[in-house]
Structure 1
Amino acid sequence: MNREVGGLDASFGSSPGASLVAPPGASPVCRPFLDADWWQGCRQVLGRWRRSLRLWLTLFFLAAALAPLALGGFLASRSLEALLREEIFQKNMILARSIASEVDDHFSDARNLLRQISSTLSQDDLIADRDVERYLEIVRTSSPLFDSITLVSEQGRVLYRAPSSEDHRGLDLSGESFFRAVLRGEDVYWSTSFMPQHATSPMTILAIPLGRVDGPKDRDVDGHARGVLVGYLDLAALGDLISGIVLPGTTYAAVMDSAGTVVGHTHRRFTEQRVNQAGLEGIREGLAGRESNFIHFHDQEHLASVAVARTQGWPVMICQPISEAFLPARTMEQILAGITVGAAILAMALGGIVAARLLRPLLLLRRKTRSIAGGDYAASPAAMPYQELEDIQEDFQLMVQAIATREQERDAVIHRLDRANADLRRFAEISAHHLQEPSRRLVSFADRLGASLAGRIDDPDSLLDLGYISANAQRLRSLLQDIQLYLAAGEPMGKIQSLDCNTLVQGAARHLGQEMEQAGATLHVGPLPTLTMDRPRLMKLLTILLENALIYRRPDVSPRIDVQGRRTERTIRLSVADNGIGIPEHYRERVFGVFERLHSGQTYPGTGTGIGLAIVRRIAESRGGRAWIEDSDLGGVAVVVEFQVDGVFESIP
């Protein structure tokens, strides 16, 4: 007999339901989240919460309290914001128009002053040529509007300038845009703002034509200007006008020129930096001469209103941050949030009170249910505060009475069945025991009769009959012994102890040593777990499985038997696999029946009474386990026996 002891195949007995475990390299923080048991626990907790009446009642009160508040607060906040937006737009537009009017007055004063100078200079008898420059200087110094005033001839040469400067006298300005515009026929020309060198505030140019009193007002008979009077306006006064306006919070005002460049701002740095706002939608509308209200983003959202200074078409903008504009709405939202929190707390308290009031009778009913589950069918019903619960309890009492009645009937039937089973078992044991002696004597007398008649009779039929008598007497004796063994297999036959399955397999192999050597069998035994059980029955189980593997072998192949085992958290599994003839799948359950054989003793000598696998299953079931047959990797079948780790030893009738 050849024996090999190998390692246990790690995949043996694996099942799709095995628990997931975290990989060895997983982080300790992530390890709990990779454990299937952890996720299963979370699902169970969520499932209990989802089915909690207390939770649903509390959520109902929360929804009933918070939904109207939330919806009403949202609608009120949006309505208030809309009203505030319209009110702020109107207020800012009024302020922008007021500033635009002051800007208009500022530039109108400059234009009127320049026209007055033009009218004075057009009268030749009023001021002599030598006094023109002095006259311009007196006008400039008496009015803060102009930084300088220049008289240009119709050829574009500088004639006079105040303040006086020899560097500018005779300077050719015919290429300047203001000169060309006046010569084209414009009565008033306003330039965009610009920042002169070494200046701290921007300037703009105002140019008008210069004519005579006795002819057309300021042009000759051909419509050409007799000269151009140019004033350079310092826009610092405009900046002082804007910065002097008192605005709430961080609201600011700004004036842009015809190119969209800031020329006056509440914060002077925007003027000095020459910030251009022509890209804003509202400024584009203002440059086109239209008033508008819009929202723009600069660091934060602003409500902006744009009016237009009609004298030169420059837009004036008032901007207020939305955070300040909507401060009343935000305050109201905070108040509503506080009210909502208070309502939520009150709703949760009311939900808890109502839930306790409703659930207390149910808890009493639950306690009674547990008492009934413990066998106390006489538990007195509790008083219910609500008619509906009272009706439920009455129906419950009727159900309990029906269950008690049926249980009494069932107990009576079980008692009769137990007594009948005990009688049948006792009868079977006594019958098997008492029939042993007649069967033994029948075998003995048949053998003695055959021995005494040997050589004295020549009738072959008589000798054959004697052989039949002896063989059937032996079979009857074997059947009786197996019946006794089957009946005894349902209860322990010895001390319950921890057994080494490896040692028992080797003992069973030694018991079958002669048969294994004759068949040339090879036995492979993997590491087997220990099993708490009585030794006689476990030894009988292993012997039956090894013997079946030897009997039902293929005639042209040496038998190979693999014994493997595996222990999990809840089960211990043993498997005996072979390379024999196998068992068709539709017969694999049938062979566990008593006296069920698929092959006769003539085909496979050594075939028993057909009760071996029935004994195996009976031993497994008495230990809370089971037995089944599956395909083997060796080509035959594997008989698998599974025991519960904490299985209770039961007596099987």
Structure 2
Amino acid sequence: MTAPRRRTLRRRLTLLTAGALAVALAAGGVLLVQVVTAQRVDALDEAVVSRAVTVADLVRTDRLPDSLPVVAPGEVVQILDPAGRVVATSGTASQTLPVVTPEVAARGEAADGTRPLVVTAASPYAGQARVAMLTVPAAEVPARLADVAGDRGLLVVAATSLGDVHATARTLGWLLAGVVPVLVLGLGLAVWLVLGRALRPVEDLRAAAEEVADSGGPGSLPVPATGELAALATTLNTMLDRLDAAASAERAAASSARAAAQRQQAFVADAAHELRSPLASLRTALEVAARHPEVYPRTELVADLGADVARISALVEDLLLLARVGSRPLRAEPLDLAAVAARVAAETAEAPARAVAVEVVGEGGATGDAAAVERVLRNLVANARRHARTRVRVTVAPGEVAVEDDGHGVPEAERERVFARFVRLEEARERDAGGSGLGLAIARELAREQGGDVTLHDSSLGGLSARLELPVP
């Protein structure tokens, strides 16, 4: 629908411009014809007025020639008596036929005698003519013409044809009638071409906008070099960027909501799965103690129940920690990895476990959340001590901490699978060695939440190397 509208706009603007030009040229042509005609008529008026005044002066001074003087072809000058008869005439008119009708002559006689009366009237000599009439009062008429003039005096009439004026107006009108359409068509074509070039950036903007709409993704509109369209394209691009940012934020929020829902579902499933076994053990111990109190001493019952409760408590804490991963922002602050590793090693040495030495070597820093990094290292060190024979080494470097042990290690094919929740390998990672199968999963998720990662490699001590990588400040 947009392209036809653009073409309609182009056509409408062209027609509007051409129509306005046609009206302007037509009005100008009419005005030109009227001005030219008025100028020609004014020139004729000056000529006939001058001729009438000249002849009137000749009458007053009694110097009338046999033939009244005329200059222009088609010009007629006569002197009429009160009865409308010809007293004297120019060589261009008859001695018996007056140049004007009695009605017109009566208008001249009734006019003010101080200046000629100029009218347009029909003339038997010149068709439509401009006629100047001036009355010479009887008191000013010479004695030899007194009998002819009587009491009303003599009327001097000078006439010249309007034929040339009408011919000029017709010629000019026909000329304009032929030129105006050509000018209108030429300008219309020029406007059509100019509008096509002017609207081309608009078409480019429309095509780019349609492409963005069809793709449904981010995009930008072409920006012309200068002008109002450049400002419009820039504004539209800014709007598209904001809309894209809003859409991205909405998608991120939806993704975060889905991730939270998935974490909640995983938490419920994991809790239901992992708590079933210790709760069953507790139920069994309590039932045995209730039915056979004599064979289940209280001290032994308390010890068994205490171990199961501790296991349940640790499992619940790990599950809650996994459920909270990603739900709150972690701080990003400079960390001394050697100091964090030393604290973890000291805490681990005090925990009841097999006699395994933990040494910390090297130094380096990173950026991350101190509590989260400490929890990652605590899980890695605890996992290493659980499976080491005699030794655990923590090597610190900028942005990296490697926790190595001299145990059995993990086959390379299984090194990604052990990061899944509740995965325990059959060999050397048995349940009775301790742990819930969540330590490595917690360590990796906390590390990735801070822009880092936890990966497993071969250790130079002969066992497994768990490497923590963090952003470097």
Q: Provide the TM-score with structure 1 as the length reference.
A: 0.32
| Structure with more helix by fraction | 2
Q: Provide the TM-score with structure 2 as the length reference.
A: 0.42
**Greater length-normalized contact order (CA 8 Å, ≥ 6 residues apart):** 1
